[in-house]
Chain A
Amino acid sequence: MATVLHLHELSKKYGSLQAVDRLTLQVEAGSIYGLLGPNGSGKTTTLGMVLDVIRPSGGSFLWFGRSISKETKQRVGALLETPNFYPYLTAKANLQVVADTKQADHRHINKMLDMVGLGTRSHTTYKGFSLGMKQRLALAAAMLNDPEVLVLDEPTNGLDPQGIAEVRDLITRIAAQGKTILLASHLLDEVEKVCTHVAVLQAGKLKANGPVGDILSTKDQLVISAEELAPVLQLLERLPYIVQFVQDKNYISLTLSEGYTSTDLNRDMFAQGIVLSQLLVRRKSLEAQFLELTQK
């Protein structure tokens, strides 16, 4: 698979604050790559650097294997922080200005306005738009010259539930067209619902990255109970793939190491003549996982 974006030891320092610290990662074509981290973790700074508006203090990045240029920029549609438009211009006039900049075909403008559901509001000035409409206009602008890659920074930030649903629906529809999406978010469930890959950032450092399934949900928690807990506890001590276990009144919760499932545990218990009365796989809450990841 082709690499769309390659970051190598990318860093940004603001005075004594290390906003982004030697970040290395790759975004493959066709993936929906989530940049996950709390506020102030360096997500926007990272996107700002690869979008050429913030100068890196160190490291490098390549778009499609090349350094950034007018040509690579035309293959990327981006929305950084807030939707940025002229408040006194209409939705359509704003997109005309964007089309001039991107040297995009002006005939696409109406199509894009329809796609984001603003077709009937194309002659309303931007300042009269709700936040959700502004965000959708920004998506229309980003999509204007049919880019291969879409970079979205907190696209649902500040929206009401309906707005969030609309924007997420748009993102999934765009992704279904086979585009690569790089999405920054502090919302775990957003990343989990929308993304295929994720990089977890904290204080500018990369904490973990890989496919969403690997990062956000491998170490499921098991809850077991049996008539007699004592032999179970004894066995758990000896089983090599138990990461940790805690007894809680009349049940035990435990974590397995990677590659093992509840089946393995059940088989070993049964082989030792222990019959479990309960075996429950409980997915760890995303918040708990996130805190675990960032507190490492």
Chain B
Amino acid sequence: MNLIRSELRKILQYPTFWVIMAIYVLLQVLLIYFSSNFMISGQSLGKSLYDFPNLWMRFSYIAYFFNLLLGILVIVLVTDEYSYRTLRQQVIDGRSRTEAVLAKFYVSLGLAAIGTVFLLVMGLLFGLIYSSDTSIGAIVGKIDYLSYFFVQAVGYMCLAMFFAFLIRKSGLAIIAFLAWSKIVEPIIHYQIDDRIDRFMPMKVFGSLTPTPGQDIIDGLTTPTMALSPAWAVLPALFYIGLLVLASILLVRLRDL
């Protein structure tokens, strides 16, 4: 409890936190609002985008892109502790290194929860206004996608946290995080067999929020080997555990 209270004190009074969260909310509202104008096969997606229950799948796919922003926020929060030398001071004052890492993991859980609740509110808002079917059954139909999104957000932030503890400098850690998730791992995916690469971390996290209309694309080309969201949860949790463990080991083994 002490650990979480301490993190809250630090975060809630941190202007950077509020700025990044404002950007997160604003950009997502804009994208959700304007995505109904997207054209697919010469046809505007239109208001059908906001139809329950598929809305949950579409919205979580949109939110997926913004996990990068949450990851960057986590990197800033972790590397701050190094540049202010407050991590060192906390260990001097009696915090264990494991607790110091867990504190940031709890922050990630909290941020993922905020993101998920935000998505729920947006979904209900847009859905209740525009959806053609607003029966309870339709609303809760695919609401489990929110939980997949939650796991995915935690996964992204744990990867960011790992790079932050590894590199300790915010700029370089952000570059490493973006490079790994958007360039390096995707390149590896092309090089190896689909049956193997679907188990790689970014692929697994991505599988949690599949591209809407993937089934249509699959009908036209060869179907992807990607895991279904439900199947991706287990390996995703495995990677989350691994990343947290690796961060703890890093901090325990090095001088502060």
Q: Which residues of B contact A87 (CB under 8 A)?
A: 84
Q: Which residues of B contact A102 (CB under 8 A)?
A: 93-94
A52 touches B84 (CB 8 A): no
Q: Which residue of B lies closest to A151 (CB)?
A: B92
Q: Given the complex of chains A and B, what is the CA–CA distance between A86 and B17 in angstroms?
A: 14
B10 touches A80 (CB 8 A): no
With A93-B9, A100-B9, A101-B6 as known contacts, state yes or no: A53 contacts B91, CB within 8 Å.
yes
- B1-33 residues at the A interface, CB under 8 angstroms: 2-3, 5-6, 9-10, 13-15
Q: Is A84's CB within 8 Å of the partner chain B?
A: yes
Q: Which residue of A lies closest to B17 (CB)?
A: A88
Identify which of A55, A70, A103 contacts B96 (C-beta below 8 A).
Answer: A70
Identify which of B15, B86, B91, B94 contacts A85 (C-beta below 8 A).
Answer: B86
With A48-B255, A86-B84, A97-B6 as known contacts, state yes or no: A80 contacts B14, CB within 8 Å.
no
Q: Is B225's CB within 8 Å of the partner chain A?
A: no
Q: Which residues of B contact A103 (CB under 8 A)?
A: 2, 94
Q: Is A89's CB within 8 Å of the partner chain B?
A: yes
Chain B interface extent, by class: 20 to 34
Q: Which residue of B lies closest to A144 (CB)?
A: B93
Q: Which residues of B contact A73 (CB under 8 A)?
A: 92-94
Identify which of A78, A82, A88, A100 contacts B6 (C-beta below 8 A).
Answer: A100
A54 touches B84 (CB 8 A): no
Q: Is B85's CB within 8 Å of the partner chain A?
A: yes
Q: Given the complex of chains A and B, what is the CA–CA distance between A74 and B2 in angstroms?
A: 15
B94 touches A101 (CB 8 A): yes
B256 touches A96 (CB 8 A): no
**Min CB distance, B248 to chain A, in Å?**
15
Q: Which residue of B lies closest to A73 (CB)?
A: B94
Q: Which residues of B contact A48 (CB under 8 A)?
A: 255
With A86-B10, A98-B93 as known contacts, state yes or no: A80 contacts B88, CB within 8 Å.
yes
A84 touches B255 (CB 8 A): no
Q: Which residues of B contact A55 (CB under 8 A)?
A: 253-255
Additional A-B contacts beyond A73-B94, A86-B84, A101-B95 (6; CB < 8 A) = A54-B255, A55-B254, A73-B92, A85-B89, A87-B84, A89-B9
Q: Which A residues are within 8 Å of any B CB, using their own CB?
A: 48, 51-55, 70, 73-74, 78, 80-82, 84-89, 93, 96-98, 100-103
Q: List 8 A-B contacts (CB under 8 A).
A: A52-B91, A52-B92, A53-B92, A73-B92, A78-B93, A80-B88, A86-B86, A103-B2
Q: Which B residues are within 8 Å of any A CB, using their own CB?
A: 2-3, 5-6, 9-10, 13-15, 80, 84-86, 88-96, 253-256
The 4 nearest A-B residue pairs measured at CB = A73-B94, A84-B89, A100-B6, A84-B85
